[in-house]
Amino acid sequence: MSTDPSPLANAASDLRTVGDRVRRKGGSFLASFLADQTANVVDRFGRYLDETNGDRLLADAERFARAQPWALFTITAATGFAVSRMLKASNTRRYNASLGEDAHD
């Protein structure tokens, strides 16, 4: 295992920094709390990915899908919608560029 922090560990650290800055500047308690909680979840997920092999990851995903099929459906639908919107936006920009029009229309 590498001693370099994972990208998720870096993201968790950045979120903690955001929470600290919000607290120091007297900002919203809720915003700092959410930043800290999100950092904890991201950190735990990063450690899980670092410590888990492919077989266990697949078994855990299957267990989640069987235990919470509606959650899996919702995640899949949201991901599909997001990808379709990105593809549509990309296609519109390419089409407008091919016509020589401004891509921001």
Average pLDDT for 2-11: 78
CB 8 within 8 A of CB 52: no
CB 43 within 8 A of CB 16: no
The percentage of residues in the chain with a pLDDT greater than 70, rounded to a whole number, is: 91
- Model pLDDT for residues 67-102, shown as the tens digit of each residue: 999 999 999 999 999 999 888 888 877 877 877 755
Residue 2 sits in the same domain as residue 36 = yes
Average pLDDT of the chain, as a whole number: 87
What is the Cα–Cα distance from 86 to 16, expressed in whole angstroms?
A: 30
Residue 92 inside a domain? The answer is yes
User: How many folded domains does the chain comprise?
Assistant: 2
Residue 47 inside a domain? The answer is yes
Residue 34 inside a domain? The answer is yes
* Predicted pLDDT at 101: 58
Residue 36 sits in the same domain as residue 82 = no
Average pLDDT for 26-50: 91
What secondary structure does DSSP assign to 8-46, as a single string? HHHHHHHHHHHHHHHHHTT--HHHHHHHHHHHHHHHHHH
**Quick check: 66 pLDDT over 90?**
yes
* Predicted pLDDT at 84: 92
Domain hosting 101: range is 68-105
